[in-house]
Amino acid sequence: MPTFVSHAVVGAAFACAAPRTLPFASVALVAAAVSALPDADVIGFAFGIPYSHPLGHRGLSHGLPFALALGAFAWLWLRSRGRPHAVSLGIMLAAACASHGVLDAATDGGLGIGFWVPFSDARHFLPWRPIPVSPLEPAAFLSARGAAILAAEIVWLWLPALSLAAGVAWTRRRA
Ligand SMILES: [Zn+2]
């Protein structure tokens, strides 16, 4: 995986696609949380669920069906409360969640992503994998390898995401 923080940064950038009448900071916060959410599956290790299991790390929670279900749930929840833009927010949150698996599939280590769990248990990577895989233990970042991983994530993930967000903010301010 890229680090938790990098997933959240990319997720927050998806808020740029939200309707401009909504509060950007709140939407970005929710999108960041949704984008980082799939890695909550590491809790499965504590319960003896193997990495390669459909419910293991990079399995169900990293797949596209999960992202779609999450978006549909958000849409229905927002609609039941009469909130505006329920459909577009549902689509945006599904995309933010799906971005997690896509980014993990661009890393150079670990097992592949169960993009189609529960319909297929196969694990996949993208053909192009420029992002060094991040260790699961935070302490591992206090090393030269940890610093190199963070530097690569800043180049490949933070800069494009923050540039997009800054561009949208600038455009909206001018409008
Ligand atoms: Zn992940």
What is the per-residue pLDDT across 46-84, written as a single tens digit (0 to 9) for each?
999 999 999 999 999 999 999 999 999 999 999 999 999
Q: What's residue 1's pLDDT?
A: 53
pLDDT mean across residues, the chain: 91
Residue 36's pLDDT band, with cuts at 50, 70 and 90, is very high
Q: What's residue 100's pLDDT?
A: 95
Q: In the chain, where are the structural domains located? A: 4-174
**In DSSP terms, which residues pair with 107 in a beta bridge?**
131
* Distance (Å, whole) CA 77 – CA 30: 14
Backbone dihedral angles phi then psi of residue 131, each to the nearest 5 degrees: -95, 120
Distance of CA 173 from the midpoint of ligand 1 (Å): 34
Distance of CA 44 from the midpoint of ligand 1 (Å): 13
Lowest mean pLDDT among 41-55, 88-102, 156-170: 156-170
Lowest mean pLDDT among 59-73, 117-131, 132-146: 132-146
| Helices assigned H by DSSP within the chain | 4-13, 24-36, 43-46, 64-80, 86-104, 144-153, 159-174
Is the per-residue pLDDT at 24 higher than 90?
Answer: no
Q: What's residue 172's pLDDT?
A: 77
Distance of CA 84 from the midpoint of ligand 1 (Å): 31
For Cα atoms 3, 51, 47, give the angle at the middle one, nearest 5 degrees: 100
Distance of CA 111 from the midpoint of ligand 1 (Å): 10
The dihedral sign for the CA sequence 73, 9, 130, 92: positive
Q: What's residue 168's pLDDT?
A: 80
Is the per-residue pLDDT at 37 higher than 60?
Answer: yes
